[in-house]
């Protein structure tokens, strides 16, 4: 296996936490246009589900900086319908991708959605424990999201219909790293082609003050991601501190995501907690508020959370505590990208969601891509966003 880039390793990072999955839907429960601080999982948990087969298909793309991305479509088949999910746990083919191993998992049967998720939690989804613990959650999410899609399609219903929520136009950002050349050119190239595009940028201690100022002058940055919770060694603490000083001053309105857990940086961020957000440390509702800083904002990434029940618990806690949310992805290439766009449309549409159509992640994105905000495109049935 070749050497991974920082961005690639960061996207694979995270830590596991268990989640129970044993609730069922209350019969006759009325739908509500808001979540009112309560989890909406019970509205899905009792959906009937029939599974007869499981299939796996390879997806592939070359993204920015010649980064080769591999994912797997998971297709559950039953009762004349199919349900799709996307496994984003493998970044290159090393013999562990689902489309390589084609595992024969014991998934067939008649279930409720909650019952299937409970059963799934008892299975070994990897032939050997993966190198990255979060990969367990990513693969589990692929199968649970496919099961949700199938259950809804078998019922002839859409996700927003069952939840009682109306999809809204989705504001999105284009997520970039500038670490290969530490140059503003990737930003300029996208702005020239898509004048209204906005960005989430991965910060590097090697950024010169001039680069920070140059990028800030575009006025197009909504989030700066420090990726401070993936276990990377801080090679130059002074340079890192200087980066924070420049970024905090140059981007006064941007979210500051996953700052490093260092005392000297905590002091710098103390007056900016309303715009500090966390991604990697949040894998369950219980993780919210247990972060190093008392930040208000949560980047909700469904696949690293890993379960439908856990995801809806995160949404519910953020709603109860009136915490701003925005969505994030893991380099999805297929149905998984549309699924996180749909979730954003339902739960945090007017936010800097890191859910741009996948082609925005290419080194030279083609013209004609949809602009932000994305018009709602929920499929008539299932857990899908139409093309």
Q: pLDDT-based confidence at 291, cuts 50/70/90?
A: very high
| Distance, CA of 356 to CA of 372 (rounded, Å) | 8
> pLDDT higher for 170 or 1?
170
Check pLDDT > 80 for residue 381: yes
Summarize the confidence of residues 356-363 as an average pLDDT.
91
pLDDT tens per residue, range 132-168: 899 999 999 999 999 999 999 999 999 999 999 999 9
Predicted confidence at residue 31, as pLDDT, reads 33
Predicted confidence at residue 35, as pLDDT, reads 61
**Is residue 376 included in any domain, yes or no?**
no
Question: Tokens 């049967």 correspond to what residue?
Answer: 109
CATH of the domain at 69: 3.30.390.10
Q: pLDDT-based confidence at 32, cuts 50/70/90?
A: very low
Least confident of 169-183, 249-263, 310-324: 169-183
Summarize the confidence of residues 357-368 as an average pLDDT.
89
Asked if 212 and 241 sit in the same domain, the reply is yes
Predicted confidence at residue 33, as pLDDT, reads 37
Asked if 286 and 182 sit in the same domain, the reply is yes
| Distance, CA of 256 to CA of 243 (rounded, Å) | 12
Summarize the confidence of residues 64-86 as an average pLDDT.
93
Q: pLDDT-based confidence at 181, cuts 50/70/90?
A: low
**Is residue 145 included in any domain, yes or no?**
yes
CATH of the domain at 192: 3.20.20.120
Q: Mean pLDDT in the chain? A: 89
Q: What percent of the chain has pLDDT over 70?
A: 90
Asked if 139 and 247 sit in the same domain, the reply is no
Q: Are strands 109-112 and 81-87 parallel, antiparallel or unpaired?
A: unpaired
Asked if 151 and 195 sit in the same domain, the reply is no
Predicted confidence at residue 37, as pLDDT, reads 84
Predicted confidence at residue 221, as pLDDT, reads 98
User: Residue 112, exposed/middle/buried by CB under 10 A (0-12, 13-18, 19+)?
Assistant: middle
**Is residue 82 included in any domain, yes or no?**
yes
* Token pair recorded at residue 335: 């149905």
Question: Tokens 């309560």 correspond to what residue?
Answer: 38
What pTM was estimated for this model as a whole?
0.90
Check pLDDT > 50 for residue 16: no
Q: 3: how many CB neighbours lie within 10 A of its CB?
A: 6
From the list 176, 269, 164, 262, the residue with the least C-alpha distance to 215 is 176
**Is residue 242 included in any domain, yes or no?**
yes
**Is residue 386 included in any domain, yes or no?**
no
Predicted confidence at residue 67, as pLDDT, reads 80
Q: pLDDT-based confidence at 30, cuts 50/70/90?
A: very low
Predicted confidence at residue 2, as pLDDT, reads 37
Asked if 111 and 209 sit in the same domain, the reply is no
Please state the domain count of the chain.
2
Q: pLDDT-based confidence at 179, cuts 50/70/90?
A: low
Predicted confidence at residue 199, as pLDDT, reads 98
Asked if 94 and 221 sit in the same domain, the reply is no
pLDDT tens per residue, range 265-290: 999 999 999 999 999 999 999 999 99
Asked if 142 and 196 sit in the same domain, the reply is no
Predicted confidence at residue 18, as pLDDT, reads 29
Strands annotated E in the chain: 48-51, 53-63, 67-78, 81-87, 109-112, 174-177, 199-202, 221-225, 255-257, 276-278, 297-300, 325-327
Asked if 180 and 272 sit in the same domain, the reply is yes
Predicted confidence at residue 231, as pLDDT, reads 72
pLDDT tens per residue, range 337-354: 999 999 999 999 999 999
Summarize the confidence of residues 21-29 as an average pLDDT.
31
Check pLDDT > 70 for residue 13: no
Summarize the confidence of residues 9-17 as an average pLDDT.
37
pLDDT tens per residue, range 209-257: 999 999 999 999 999 999 999 777 777 889 999 999 999 999 999 999 9
User: In which domain, by residue range, is 303 found?
Assistant: 174-361
| Distance, CA of 263 to CA of 15 (rounded, Å) | 22
């Amino acid at each position: 296996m070749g050497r991974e880039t920082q961005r690639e390793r960061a996207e694979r990072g995270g830590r596991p936490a268990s989640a129970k999955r044993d609730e069922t839907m209350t019969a006759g429960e009325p739908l509500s246009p808001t979540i009112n601080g309560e989890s909406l999982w019970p509205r899905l948990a009792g959906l009937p589900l029939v599974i007869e087969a499981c299939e796996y298909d390879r997806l592939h793309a070359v993204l920015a900086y010649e980064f080769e991305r591999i994912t797997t479509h998971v297709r559950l088949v039953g009762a004349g319908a199919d349900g799709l999910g996307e496994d984003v746990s493998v970044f290159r083919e090393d013999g562990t991708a689902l489309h390589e191993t084609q595992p024969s998992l014991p998934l067939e049967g008649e279930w409720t959605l909650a019952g299937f998720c409970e059963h799934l939690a008892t299975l070994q989804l990897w032939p050997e424990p993966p190198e990255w613990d979060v990969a367990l959650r990513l693969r589990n999410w692929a199968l649970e999201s496919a099961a949700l899609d199938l259950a809804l399609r078998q019922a002839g219903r859409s996700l927003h219909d069952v939840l009682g929520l109306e999809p809204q136009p989705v504001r999105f950002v284009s997520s970039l790293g500038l670490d290969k050349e530490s140059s503003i050119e990737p930003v300029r190239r996208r702005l020239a082609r898509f004048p209204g595009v906005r960005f989430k940028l991965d910060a590097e201690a090697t950024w010169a003050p001039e680069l920070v100022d140059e990028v800030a002058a575009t006025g197009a940055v909504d989030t700066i991601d420090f990726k401070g919770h993936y276990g990377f060694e801080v090679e130059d603490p002074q340079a890192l501190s200087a980066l924070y000083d420049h970024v905090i001053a140059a981007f006064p309105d941007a979210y500051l995501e996953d700052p490093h857990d260092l005392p000297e940086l905590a002091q710098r961020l103390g007056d900016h907690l309303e715009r500090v957000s966390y991604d990697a440390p949040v894998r369950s509702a219980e993780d919210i508020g247990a972060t190093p800083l008392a930040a208000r904002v949560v980047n909700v990434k469904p696949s690293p959370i890993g379960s439908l029940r856990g995801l809806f618990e995160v949404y519910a806690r953020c709603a109860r505590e009136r915490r701003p949310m925005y969505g994030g992805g893991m380099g999805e290439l297929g149905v998984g990208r549309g699924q996180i766009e749909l979730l954003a449309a339902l739960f945090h549409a007017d936010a800097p969601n890191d859910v741009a159509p996948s082609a925005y992640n290419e080194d030279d994105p083609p013209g004609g891509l949809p602009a932000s905000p994305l018009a709602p495109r929920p499929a008539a049935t299932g857990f899908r966003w139409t093309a």
